[in-house]
Amino acid sequence: MRCYCCSSKPFNECCEPFIKGVKYPNTAEQLMRSRFSAYATAHYQYILETYTKEKQKDLSVEDLVQSAQGATWFALKVHPTLAANSKPNTAVVEFTAYYFENKSMYQLHETSNFNIEDGKWRYHDGVLHDDCGKIKYGRNLPCVCGSNKKFKQCCSLKNH
């Protein structure tokens, strides 16, 4: 099965070993992808543990379950990073995540900040872009997940 994060790799060679704690992500992008896959598979404990310590203080698994309720996360696009980042032990990743809620399609477009803590990448916070929210996407367009199938023959089928 192709990984939830829309990489070209299978789940068990991409995000699954990170979510299971068998391996740690080498890059902030890998961590971000694995957090997306954790949302897609409802592994909220992993999402909590991959926040920076400062953010974990104010969060619980229940908060994360609550905030994700009703959303079906189905595709992720990572944008090429333009801004050079000079601060050590930090990284910036821009992405758009797609989800269905109440039969509508939404996108979450965020530029996220990641820090290294105790040698591991952690998500700290992010800035949402203005184009977040409900979107209309043509049924005959190539699917947002990059499968090369038409949307109506691909992720659109997960909208129920």
Distance CA 34, CA 149 (A): 24
What gap in Å lies between CA 91 and CA 96, rounded to an integer? Answer: 17
Shortest distance in whole angstroms from residue 142 CB to Zn ion: 9
Does residue 7 touch Zn ion according to CB under 5 A? yes
Q: Which is nearer to Zn ion, 60 or 104 (CB)?
A: 104
The correct pick among 32, 91, 93, 155 for binding Zn ion (CB under 5 A) is 155
User: Of the listed pieces 13-21, 57-65, 95-103, 131-139, which binds Zn ion according to CB under 5 A?
Assistant: 13-21
For the chain, percent helix, then strand, then coil, each to nearest 5?
30, 30, 40
What's the full length of the chain, in residues? 160
N-to-C CA span, the chain: 21
Q: How far is the CB of 23 from Zn ion (least distance, A)?
A: 12
Our CB check for Zn ion shows the closer of 88 and 114 to be 114
Closest CA to 18 of 32, 1, 2, 7: 32
- Interface stretch with Zn ion, choices 8-16, 17-25, 114-122, 134-142 (CB under 5 A): 8-16
H or E stretch covering 51: none
Instruction: Pick the binder of Zn ion from 61, 147, 150, 152 (CB under 5 A).
Output: 147
Sign of CA dihedral 84, 98, 10, 8: negative
Which residues inside 26-45 make contact with Zn ion, applying CB under 5 A? 33
Binding footprint of Zn ion on the chain (CB under 5 A): 3, 5, 7, 14-15, 33, 143, 145, 147, 154-155
